[in-house]
Structure 1
């Protein structure tokens, strides 16, 4: 989960969405989280209870859209719930829950607690009794990279719509509400709110009000963006993601992603999998489902050709700065961090870390720690450089932030294109 203190964690889901065009999306995996400290033994009593609970929830959930159950005795008791979005049919609900229950066991094979979110459902379980308790710990944000022309008015309209839908969800037997608000003659704002049905109506409203209050922090004028999606059915399914550097404006992000998506198709015209990196964004696609998995296969190094006078001390400072920024990125909603460290009275060392947002915060930190450990072998004593993989990257430089970019010998071209790779990855 998002905290290593799994024994005291509370697990709960609340979802809301607001889009200018459409509130409905495809059935995609959004995110998953695995407990970090508590594991079970293969073929032991907990796994047996969990297997039976999974089968029970797969059967119980589709007719009503919600299932809850506990099997076994403590300390091997398995507790779980499954919830489908309130507008899903029984058949759609069944397909999503079966998929979710199978996928989470692959991604968290021996974890005693885990949760997985799809567009249309969630599935979660734990050896702890979490029923009826609000979980504000396991939370993540997703937003459209495009900005509105009048953020203040749009934010107010969004808050009004979602607050009304929170009241309606509280009064609904499924704790679900969807609605819309006309912004002008040609634009409609859509919204949705939902709670897991193990909560009381009071707790549902309390949780919804809490996250609606976070709108200014999570989704107000965010710079940079992320998108992921899947289209089609296997074996012809296309999976892809795009990510902009965390300090990019929406317009700069859009320009980079459009350029990247066009360029990679020219360079890899018939490849089922490809990835391209620019200074300000990446674009990646594959016929395989790579979401939520650390990509160490696609990796390269770039560095300034100039060396520092004291490599040992500089490497130590660089490692300290990037390790701190890895922690900062892990805790950031965009999985992004930038910072600096004073080396002497007149010199600053700058650093940047970032992960693709299909990763969990734990896997983001794991990915960053891995490439930070490669610093001595790739870029020993260099004034600036980058280590870039398909899931995370780090950049550092002195004497200024410009040494993180491509204008002092790190190697990107005039458009900021760093590298492209065709095929050969999952």
Structure 2
């Protein structure tokens, strides 16, 4: 079947937050919404029947353990009859299905209040209604594409080949299952796993489901080629793939306390110590002029360390920047950058073309090439507890990876590329604290892509042994713990980030 370029809407989902972000996962919007231009009259019988239908869908989201329900509200005239259904992802817990359908019907009631047909998609569910019967009929319009901001950095053709084989097999299994759902994972490398999910509405026949999923799969090379994740949303089916476990392997909630990563020293937001972590010097450069420019550059960075928002500058062919955590006082930022410039001067000796140094409170880097506005993922530092014999429960990995992905998106959309989040509760006693931050020169998409790359390539989800750790890139950092390590009383500074100085 030829691809119809007019069939799709391309989504760029933007979450707007204040200058300093506090993530709230429950506030995330739907993935896509389509309201027909055909309208009902506000006081018509068909509009009253629609309200009854949406109420019945919401009330039946709890009673239907299989996550699928359809209903028809008959009118005196055929034109007043309305048809509707909901479909939850089979792996989501019943309360999540109920909440998703309730949110969906409420949004449809407000945003598509007089439309004769509408469909809305969330991560966990899809709700649809129409004044025409669509049950047991395959529909692929309207359709939406979404993709992960991170790219496959190496051997893209091999990845796309594995993806094609895995998602086709997942689609075959879904079409042949009674609930028209399947999820499958395959090893990409020793530390990376590809996760695929396919699902159809349960009113479709085996052949209809297979046709719908195959059509969705045929769109992947166009929408998502070279991307670490992507999805295609149709009214009758949907597909998704990622390099992190976005679905649950079982429908059971986590049991007991989750293993916590243990550290020799546990830092918190109250620590006055900048907390040296690691550094990297690369590419010897013995050019005397560059050394002179670099010395001036490091002095400029240290002199401007009163700005927690970060600072970037250029001195000849020497480029540099720093970034402090925004939740720390300005004096701690200043101390951290002073320590960083002193240590990088001492340990790298001004004899290298590039260097990066990370502390708990800040990071600083320089290079003999212009790296501003570019996403760089190497060199990197990771501190994660790995265990092939006893990894964390799959349900915990799913909840954690999905929350990290939300933080990655929201960090890119804050003015200062900084978000903290403590909305994920694993149980009554354990809460996850997350911090995401990018260098302030990155764009919205580049920042989200950098953090998404951390989630997809730097965290080996199948062997993560406990909750807690961090990954540090030259362009972004991501940390998650079961203890509070940042200041919870964030306040927005009176002024925004200062403009970068003119290049000299």
TM-score (structure 2 length as normaliser): 0.41
